[in-house]
Structure 1
């Protein structure tokens, strides 16, 4: 259970920092124009994390400048924006949010900035979180389904058309072309995971971030904790995962790139399962890493899952 007194104190400190950052951001904005002064006069689109930035770049083409607040490898749930982030937000022409309670850390200051923003998950068939203190709230990881990201791309094209009407047709065409690539990745993923036997069709991960992927591919999702938070992996949660792996003879388990795999290694040590590999969810890698784009991320995860659960070698 989270330490609410600690979190309350932390929220007070964060709120004070937010007030300072907003004052600083608005002061800079009043003095210095918008952030498109970085070498071109293209409108600036700011996303909350790298996955959204990559999708947005595919839809925007060369007509907009797209940036991400968080960097490659960042954990998105508990991110704490800096004064520099707030200055960026104040100077942007459009902010793109995932929504579904993912960016609670950012929503409190977006509403105080005179910058339009769009929620790219609008229209997605949302899955609820199944348990823990977040039970019943929307699972925010909707981008872990390429079918959902087709909706993201369409929403971005509409938001970009409002921002830059003269290129609306290009944004729509870009979204259509990107959605075709998303459909190919979706079909590849489902086909790749379809080789798993009934006993192998369990996806055991650290965080419950794979509900949408599991739904698309017909997998049973099991996790140690539901949503990344300040306190994770209680003994009860680890024990529950161990019992599931043993009872179902699950051959491999996984963890996400932005959190420690130590709790899952306890599961491995107590069972016959092997550690199947690192999966990517909340962040892309650097350009020379394994998942520099969203399409790479989905292909990587499908391959790692299939290889590990079928007993193959990556």
Structure 2
């Protein structure tokens, strides 16, 4: 008489083979079932992935190490928008190229401004103008609101609510994912504040390529100077560079930092002529590749404060 357990196992395996993986849902069908959304740039895309989890398929228009200030959309971007149910944007005039892309794509997706509810700070007034005598294109609002973790929590809440509205069946998942992520953001902010506290007050100042850290300055008390304005579209003039060098010498600024989205030559020139040391590379407007030091927003904030502390905490005042 055949072994009864063997018969049962054979029956189960046979049924599984007929039904296919995941009770009849193939991997391809599962991928297609995800809510298709688009985010304008890599930092925002990470927020959406953290909240959306496995229920959401996220396409980032501007990828890792990409510059959202000067991005040129592609036909693939228009195709992604046309298939999306939601399009998440930063707003505050960061994505000047986006309205044309939305129009050309014919998308019916809801447009979600992730900075809704954030009080913008004024962009630092710059004395220079870009090519052709034009200043930056951001108006008076600084778009880099994600540089404050308190603001990042507003992004997350807006994303959570938009996903739940578009996919009511996933509301409990989005709520749980958002709550867990908000707790991680609180822990990260505590690390940032502790690191700043270890830097002597007189050394809490540095130079970056462009003025992307205004919200960080306001939240955490590190003073950043920049020869460029809030957009990389405008080039620093010789007058701006000379002014920054004088400022470094007068205020004894300890370090200058490279940024992942900008040409390093400007900072290298300023360091050479001012005598300030070059600190590490900071991530301002874009994440690194997943294998890099800033593959997620939390990794980015931890990396940045680590580089800032290393460069500013030690050495003569």
Instruction: Give the counterpart of 1:62 among 54, 57, 63.
Output: 54
Q: What SS does the aligned partner of 1:207 have? A: coil
Give aligned pairs, total: 277
> Take 1:76 and 1:311, find their aligned partners in 2: how far apart are those partners?
34
Please give the TM-score of this superposition, normalised by the length of structure 2.
0.83
- CA 1:221/1:40 → structure 2, altered by over 3 Å: closer, same or farther? same
> Shift of the alpha carbon at 1:228?
2.8
- Deviations along 1:252-299, one digit per CA (max 9) or x if unpaired, are 111210101211111111122100111001111112111111100000
Tell me the SS of whatever aligns to 1:155: helix
Q: Does 1:304 align with 2:296?
A: no
Which residue, out of 203, 211, 214, partners 1:211? 214
Unpaired runs of 5+ in structure 2?
A: 1-27, 127-134
Query: Is the Cα–Cα contact under 8 Å of residues 42 and 64 in structure 2 kept in the other structure?
Result: yes
Cα pair 1:48 1:96 within 8 Å, conserved: yes
**Residue 216 of structure 2 is aligned to residue 224 of structure 1:** no
RMSD: 1.7
- Displacement of 1:193 after TM fit? 1.1
| Structure 2: distance between partners of 1:231 and 1:159 | 34
Equivalent residue number for residue 43 of structure 1:
35
- Assess if the C-alpha contact under 8 Å between 1:130 and 1:136 holds in 2: no
Counterpart mapping for 1:100-179 below 5 A? 100-111=92-103, 113-132=107-126, 133-134=135-136, 137-179=140-182
* Deviation sequence 1:78-112 (CA, Å, 0-9, x none): 10101111111111111000111001111233255
Deviations 1:5-47 (A, max 9, x none): xxxxxxxxxxxxxxxxxxxxxxxxxxxxxxx989422110110
TM-score (ref. length: structure 1): 0.84
Distance 2:120 2:197 in 1: 24
The answer to whether the 8 A contact 1:199-1:249 is kept is no
Q: Would the alpha carbon gap of residues 136 and 70 (structure 1) be closer, same or farther in structure 2, given more than 3 Å must change?
A: closer
Structure with bigger gyration radius: 2
Do residues 88 (structure 1) and 85 (structure 2) align?
no
Give the secondary structure class of the aligned counterpart of 1:193: helix
SS of residue paired to 1:189 = helix
SS at match of 2:59: strand
- 2:289 is paired with a residue whose SS is coil
For structure 1, which runs of at least 5 residues remain unmatched after alignment? Answer: 1-35
Q: Distance in 2 between matches of 1:39 and 1:174?
A: 19
Assess, with a 3 A threshold, how the Cα gap between structure 1 residues 72 and 218 changes in structure 2: closer, same or farther.
Answer: same
Q: Deviations over 1:140-178 (max 9, x none)?
A: 000111111100000001100111011112212211111
8 A Cα contact 1:75 1:282, kept in partner: yes
- Give SS of 1:225's match: coil
The equivalent residue for 2:295 is 292
